[in-house]
Structures are given as C-alpha cells and as structure tokens.
Chain A
Amino acid sequence: MRYPVPFSRWSVLFGAVAWSATRLWAADMGEALTTIRAVGPEGQGNAAAAQAWAQVAGAPADQLPKLLDAMNGANERARNYLVAAAATMADRQLKSGGVLPVAELGDFLLNPAHQGAARRLALELIAKVDISAAEDLMPGLLDDPAPELRREAVKRILDAATARATGESKGVAIALYQQALGFARDGDQVEAITQGLKDLGRNVDLVQRLGFVTRWQVIGPFDNTGGVGFDKVYPPEVAVQLDAEVEGREGKVRWKEFVSQHEFGMVDLNKAYAPLKEVAGYAYTVFHSEVAQRAEIRLGCKNGWKLWANGQFLFGRDEYHRGAEIDQYRLPVDLKAGRNTILVKVTQNEQKEEWTVEWEFQLRVTDPSGRVLRSAAPADKMALR
C-alpha cells in the first residue's frame, strides 16, 4: 500500500520527533533515576529526588522496563519513589488509550535475577492490561525465589484447598494443601496449611517444616527488677562458658540443656525454671553452616530480647506482651562456613495479668527468601563447646 506523499512525510516527521523524544527521555531518565537512587536516611536527597520523580513519572510508558531495572539494588526509600512513578506512568498511558510494553514487562518478570519487588510490580502492570494473562503466569511462580511472587502463587493453591476442605472434595483439599506446603516459605502460610491439614486428619511436623531451632543451652534467672536487667550486662554477654557457674538473681546458676518440645518450637524459660517475673535468662546454641552465606535469623518473642550472632550484637527490643508471631523479627546475618554461635537474652517484666505469663521465644534460620537453613551438625552439648 502506498500512502499519499504528504501523509508519508508527516509520518516520517512524527516518527522522528517521537524517536528523538524517547532518546531525550532515555538520556534524562538515567540521570533522574540516579538521583532518586541516591536518597538516604532522614530525608537526605529528597528535594532532588522530588524533581527527578516528576521527570521520571512524566516519561513515556515505554521507559517502564528501564524504571523497573533501576529498582535492582535500589534502597527501600528509593524503591518507593520508583513504584509510585511506575504506576503514574502506566495509569497516564492507559487513560490516554495507549499500551504498555507488556512483552518487555514479561521478560522482566520472568528473569529471577531482577529484584523481587520490581518483578512483582511488573506482574501488576501486566495485570492492568490483561488480568487473565497475569493469572495464567501465576502457577509458574510457585517455586520462584522472590517471596513477593512465590507467596501469591502459594496463596492461590491454599485458597483452592480451603474452598474444598468441607464436603466431598476433602481428598482434593488434602492434595492441594500438601502441594502448597511443598512450596510455602512464609511462616504464616505454613501455619495455615498445617492447620488445614490437621483439620482433615493429617498432622504436619511444624517444627521440622519451619526449621525451628529446638536444642539450646540456657542459664538464669538474672535480675530484671524494674526493667534494669535489659541493659545490664550479665556474664553470658561477656563470654559464654558452658561449664562456668555465675551469680544469678537467687544464687549461683549454671548452663543446662533445654530441648523444646513445643509444636511451634517455643523455648519456654518458664519450663526451664519456673514461672517467674522480673527476670532475665539466656539461651545459646551453635548453628553449623555448610558455606559462608547471607542469611536471616528469624525470631518470635513477646518479651524483651537481645540477640548476638558470633558475638556480634544484631538487635534488641525492650517491649513486653504486645504480641508475638512467627518471623516477627527478621535479622540479616552473614553466616560463616562452619560454626556460628547464637545467643539470645530474654527478659520478663513485672506484669501480673494472665496474658503476661509467657517468658519464651522461637527462632529459626533461613536464607533471605525464607528457605529454611538447617544446622549441618547437631547442637548437642559437646558441639556447643
């Protein structure tokens, strides 16, 4: 087909302008994205980032993959500038009747090397254009390394199982629950699946499945009258000597072994000693890692607590009885190949209400995506030395 000459000229002209504009945007985008990625603590870089945000959000939608790519390695503050810009670009494009670069977004989504939140955003952008395509992509994400995608895929199976848990489809529900269990990494999802199976007569060893550390050496009680014990440095914080005898709140105390039998791996210091108030206790274990690796120590605790890994203080929190849940606190840690020590201090306050009795914690070790890491050697007393 031959276009009339004037139309052809206009097409060339418009094409050239569009090409130039895109090139201009692409060049400016890079600088603007760098500015956004430079935002730092306490609002540093915000003023410049706001200008850059306007520029990025005003870019044509074909720049979306570049924007998503900028999320790779971006800090969490910058990520929030970028996610808002992406949605703004996409919404403007769709409202004006334009299209999104779905194929490129798909490529981005399916590349596990990209950052999980950015890939999740790519999926959501695809869903804005074609919700059924996004649904169709979901089963393929069941074993995805990105928790943001894997969780959603597991949820769909979990929902399907729950919908069949009553009535004549119980057998199907069991199969679906078991499939979900095979891929779930988030503690709350595993707990929900386990409960669903339990309701259908199938028991799951939650401790094994979630990898709770159950074998510990414990020592206590130390004084925490009026909360003074949280900051007070007792001997275990100076050095863990499992055969030492040290001064506790009511005389000499020694380390002793405590193995949790709790279905959620709770290390209950009230069981190790007695129900006590205004006390502090310590629990110590060794985790053998086959390789040096980035990991997370994941803690659930409704008492005050402090945690050290390989003698380095990671974090602590002086809060009592506001609630606890699996993976309540996620503490990034670099595990060494071989022996890694973990020391937990747990403090109990003075409250007398029935819901303030607990003096306990649960702990597991995972990789950053939530995959359970298990100690390569048992944490028996000899191994702890």
Chain B
Amino acid sequence: MKHIVSRSLPLLAAWWSLSAGSVALADWTQFRGRDGSGAVAEASLPTALDPQKSVRWHADLPGRGLSSPIVVGDRVFVTCSSGARQSRLHVICFNAADGAMLWERQFFATGRTMCHEKTSVAANSPASDGQRVFALFSCNDLVALDLEGNLLWVRALSLDYPNVSNSLGMSSSVVVSEGTVVAQVENDTQPLALGIDAATGLNRWKLDRPKMANWTSPIVFRDPATGRETVCLQSGKGLLGVEPATGKELWNYTEGASTVPSTAAAAGVLYVPSQGITAIKPGAAGQAPTQLWRANTLRPGTSSPVVSGDRVYTINGAGVLSCGNVQNGDRVWQLRMKGPFSASPVMAGRFLYAPNETGLLQVVDTSKPEGELVSEMELGETILSTPAVTTDSLYLRSDGKLWRISGG
C-alpha cells in the first residue's frame, strides 16, 4: 500500500500542479471574492427577501466565527472556533446544494487565543486556489486541506515567530496567488508578512512589516493588460505591492491607510481606504502608483469598499452608504442604512447586500437615482461576517449558523 501511495504521488503532484489555480469564475474563493471587488456582475439573487422563500437552507455551526464563507464549485467552506478559550479550530465543508456537512476537520490552537469579546479566533477568512483550502486563525495557525478534507500541511506561525499576536485578536485573511499563500500577521511587536508555498507549506519569503496593529487583509491585484498578479499588503503606512512568488517589492504607496477596512480592486484600479478613499493605478515595477483621485467623503467605517461597474460604495461609521464615481471620486448619492455594520457589503448585479450587526440583511437597488432600500430580512442573530456571493446565491454566517439565500 505504501508503495502504491509513493508511486502515485509524482503523478498526483503533476496533476495538481497542472490543475492548481484553475478557479472557476463563479467561485468566491476568498474574502470579498476572487477579484477583491466584493461584487459579482452577472448574478441573479432574490431582491424581495422572504424568510420562507429566500432561505434555501441553513446549517448549524459548531463554533463561533466572523470569517467569510468561501465557495468552490458545489462546496462551501467555513471556519469556526469553539471550546475553552476558543482553542479548538474547525474547518468545515458543506454541500452547497442542500447544506449537508460533507466533512469537518478540527485542530488545536497553538498560539494565543485571547481576543476582544466582539471578535473571535475564527476571524480570518479562508482562501482557495480551486484545489485546496487554506485556513488561517487569529491564533496564527494555518492549515491546508484539499477539497475532500485531506490534510496537506500545517503551520503554527505563533511557534515559528512567538510574538506575532494581538491581545485584541488578529483578523487578516489569507490570499493565494501564483502558488503562494500570503498571510499578514502584523501587530505591535513582531509584524510579518509571509509568502508560503501552497504545495508544501514552506516559506517562500518573509517580510518585516510596519510595527503596528493591523487587521486588514491582503488583496490580489490583476493587471488587466498583462494578467500579471501583484499581492498588495496594506498597513497604516500605505499599500505595498509585491511579487507573489518572491515577495519582491514592485511599488509602494506611502501616504498612509486604514488598519481596519481593506482595499478593493476592479478594472486595474485599487481603491485604498486612505484619507477617505484614494484611487491608485499601479504602473511599472519600481514606479510609484499613479493617484487618480482622493475622496474624503467616501471614508469607510469598519466595512471595506465594494466596486461594481463605474461605482464604488462605502459605508461609514454612522451607517451611511455612499455611492462614488470611480472616474473622479465624486459622491453620487448617499443613503442612510440601519447600522451598525462590521460586515462589508457585497454586490450582486445592481443590488447591494449589507447585513448589519443585529442580523438585518438589507438590499439596496443601486440603479435608482439616490439608491433605494428595496428589501430587508431579519436573520435573528448577530452578523459580523462579510457574505459570499455566487451567480445565484448569497452565503452568510453568524456564530451559530450558515445561511444560503437564493431565489430557487
């Protein structure tokens, strides 16, 4: 048996290397989606929400979490934390069709699990390259599994780097680009960004980062002209673009940025939560990005911006949704929502979906001249997690439940 396994591995590895990275466009593979815009242009979701008709299914979760679900093909992946001091970590796979749990894997936290009571140890969203799922937790345990739940590798970043922690909790989500899993484990004491080989779990690169707490997530920027990917690392200092496989600096935006909401990307432009929102366009390697505009009126609160078509949307700390023009940053309209919000809004077609902290899911028709709240649905549980969107469904989770919202 052992020989069969060892003989099969090179073939398996070859198949894997050929197929890795084959993410379907319909998949929602990381925090705020595959392209980091937070939007799916061609989507058909219910816009008149009805608890009886719109909830396709809901499933119980075994622990807390405010990480986003991700969707790969017909599977939904969610992370949770449970037990004494949330020291038990869960990665769970559900069947998207009916909400049945297909498998669950548990791990012991090896790093500190202390965090603010509002957040949890399962705060970082997982990511997938279409073949594997990478799950990072606030305690800095990072695990890689295949879609069937087979364990591929384990990293205990708090054992490797003992001072990467934050007593309020960590929340930066991982991204995967060109076979490299990128994790920002940034804090006041030992701030690092790591590029980890998706196949082996070995470090490809490690960068010292600004010495400050940081809860933002990296984003993968795809140059529409070349298709080349850049991983963008946000911090209080700004936004650093690095080569995914090497961590080599490509460009650096140094005018400061938020340490809570994260950058969004669309059509070759990055929308950075910096002095409001600052739109920048990366250029050639070694050159500073071009600043297209800056709009203080679009300053986001906790939620990250979302970009769809020629509009960028933000929700500020007072729960006001602002619609901005991506050409110049001018505010087009404002709409007062029912807050407060921790989750980032997402877009499906022209409709914006925004769950607030009390569990009220609100739907805004952004095509109306002033934006119009067209529907809302009470989910009855605290929602701090950003939803996932596919062409026909919205997935969102609380500490206790995972919902699939769809029309059919």
* Interface residues, chain A, with chain B CB atoms under 8 Å away: 24, 28, 39, 41-44, 46-47, 49-51, 53-55, 57, 76-77, 79-81, 83-85, 87-88, 91, 117, 148, 151-152, 155, 186, 188, 302, 315, 317-320, 322-325, 328
Q: Is B159 an interface residue (CB 8 A)?
A: yes
Known: A41-B159, A43-B203, A318-B188. A85 touches B108 (CB 8 A): no
- What B residues does A47 contact at CB under 8 A? 153, 200-201
Q: Which single member of A39, A57, A91 contacts B154 (CB below 8 Å)?
A: A39
- What B residues does A302 contact at CB under 8 A? 167
Q: Which single member of B141, B150, B202 contacts A42 (CB below 8 Å)?
A: B202
A-B CB contact pairs (8 Å), 23 listed: A42-B155, A42-B202, A42-B203, A43-B153, A46-B155, A47-B200, A49-B153, A49-B154, A51-B6, A54-B5, A76-B108, A77-B156, A80-B107, A81-B154, A84-B106, A88-B149, A91-B103, A188-B85, A317-B163, A318-B189, A320-B188, A322-B167, A323-B168
In this complex, what residue of A is CB-closest to B149?
A: A88
Interface of chain B residues 229 through 262 with chain A (CB within 8 A): none
Interface of chain B residues 1 through 18 with chain A (CB within 8 A): 1-2, 5-6, 9
A50/B152 in contact, CB under 8 A: yes
- What A residues does B197 contact at CB under 8 A? 43
Complex alpha-carbon distance, A83 and B109, angstroms = 12
Kindly list 8 other residue pairs between chains A and B, CB separation below 8 angstroms, not including A43-B197, A49-B153, A77-B155: A24-B1, A46-B202, A83-B108, A85-B151, A117-B108, A319-B187, A324-B167, A328-B112
Complex alpha-carbon distance, A53 and B153, angstroms = 9
B2/A28 in contact, CB under 8 A: yes
> Sorted from nearest, which 5 A-B pairs have the closest CB atoms?
A322-B167, A46-B153, A43-B202, A43-B201, A46-B201
A57/B150 in contact, CB under 8 A: yes
Q: Closest CB-CB distance, A223 to chain B, in whole Å? A: 19
Interface of chain B residues 132 through 181 with chain A (CB within 8 A): 141, 143, 149-156, 159-160, 162-163, 166-168
Question: Contact size class for B?
Answer: 35 or more
- What A residues does B153 contact at CB under 8 A? 43, 46-47, 49-50
- What B residues does A323 contact at CB under 8 A? 114, 116, 167-168
B106/A43 in contact, CB under 8 A: no
Complex alpha-carbon distance, A288 and B149, angstroms = 50
Q: Closest CB-CB distance, B145 to chain A, in whole Å? A: 8
Q: Is B196 an interface residue (CB 8 A)?
A: yes
Complex alpha-carbon distance, A279 and B160, angstroms = 31
Known: A81-B154, A84-B106, A322-B213. A41 touches B160 (CB 8 A): yes
Q: Which single member of B85, B107, B159, B196 contacts A83 (CB below 8 Å)?
A: B107
- What B residues does A76 contact at CB under 8 A? 108, 110, 156, 159
Q: Is B284 an interface residue (CB 8 A)?
A: no
> Interface SS of chain A: helix, strand, loop or mixed?
helix
B108/A80 in contact, CB under 8 A: yes
Q: Closest CB-CB distance, B187 to chain A, in whole Å? A: 7
* Interface residues, chain B, with chain A CB atoms under 8 Å away: 1-2, 5-6, 9, 84-85, 103-108, 110, 112, 114, 116, 141, 143, 149-156, 159-160, 162-163, 166-168, 187-189, 196-197, 200-203, 211, 213
- What B residues does A43 contact at CB under 8 A? 153, 155, 196-197, 200-203
B151/A50 in contact, CB under 8 A: yes
Complex alpha-carbon distance, A319 and B112, angstroms = 14
Q: Which single member of A41, A50, A53, A319 contacts B167 (CB below 8 Å)?
A: A319
- What B residues does A91 contact at CB under 8 A? 103
Q: Closest CB-CB distance, A150 to chain B, in whole Å? A: 10
- What A residues does B2 contact at CB under 8 A? 28, 55
Q: Which single member of A39, A50, A148, A317 contacts B189 (CB below 8 Å)?
A: A317
Q: Closest CB-CB distance, B194 to chain A, in whole Å? A: 9
Max chain A C-beta neighbours (<10 A), residue from B107, B116, B196, B211:
B107
- What A residues does B156 contact at CB under 8 A? 76-77, 80
- What A residues does B85 contact at CB under 8 A? 188
In this complex, what residue of B is CB-closest to A39?
A: B154
Complex alpha-carbon distance, A100 and B247, angstroms = 47
Complex alpha-carbon distance, A215 and B16, angstroms = 61
Q: Closest CB-CB distance, A155 to chain B, in whole Å? A: 8
Known: A51-B6, A117-B108. A322 touches B188 (CB 8 A): yes
B154/A46 in contact, CB under 8 A: yes
- What A residues does B152 contact at CB under 8 A? 50
B151/A81 in contact, CB under 8 A: yes
Q: Closest CB-CB distance, A289 to chain B, in whole Å? A: 25
Complex alpha-carbon distance, A315 and B104, angstroms = 36
Q: Closest CB-CB distance, A48 to chain B, in whole Å? A: 10
Known: A87-B105, A117-B108, A323-B116. A77 touches B167 (CB 8 A): no
In this complex, what residue of A is CB-closest to B87?
A: A148
Q: Closest CB-CB distance, B179 to chain A, in whole Å? A: 14
Complex alpha-carbon distance, A46 and B203, angstroms = 11
In this complex, what residue of B is CB-closest to A148?
A: B84
Known: A46-B154, A55-B2, A85-B151. A80 touches B103 (CB 8 A): no
Q: Closest CB-CB distance, B169 to chain A, in whole Å? A: 9
- What B residues does A53 contact at CB under 8 A? 150-151
Q: Closest CB-CB distance, A65 to chain B, in whole Å? A: 19
- What A residues does B196 contact at CB under 8 A? 43
Q: Which single member of B9, B116, B200 contacts A46 (CB below 8 Å)?
A: B200
Complex alpha-carbon distance, A155 and B83, angstroms = 11
A77/B201 in contact, CB under 8 A: no
Complex alpha-carbon distance, A43 and B202, angstroms = 5
A80/B162 in contact, CB under 8 A: no
In this complex, what residue of A is CB-closest to B158?
A: A76
In this complex, what residue of A is CB-closest to B150?
A: A54
B160/A42 in contact, CB under 8 A: yes
In this complex, what residue of A is CB-closest to B85?
A: A188
Max chain A C-beta neighbours (<10 A), residue from B9, B110, B153, B159:
B153
Complex alpha-carbon distance, A57 and B151, angstroms = 9
Complex alpha-carbon distance, A150 and B397, angstroms = 32
- What B residues does A46 contact at CB under 8 A? 153-155, 200-202
Complex alpha-carbon distance, A235 and B303, angstroms = 47
Complex alpha-carbon distance, A199 and B2, angstroms = 62
In this complex, what residue of B is CB-closest to A85?
A: B151
- What B residues does A24 contact at CB under 8 A? 1
- What A residues does B203 contact at CB under 8 A? 42-43
In this complex, what residue of A is CB-closest to B89?
A: A80
Complex alpha-carbon distance, A88 and B102, angstroms = 12
- What B residues does A57 contact at CB under 8 A? 150-151
Q: Closest CB-CB distance, B163 to chain A, in whole Å? A: 6
- What A residues does B105 contact at CB under 8 A? 84, 87-88
A55/B5 in contact, CB under 8 A: yes
- What B residues does A148 contact at CB under 8 A? 84
Q: Closest CB-CB distance, B83 to chain A, in whole Å? A: 9
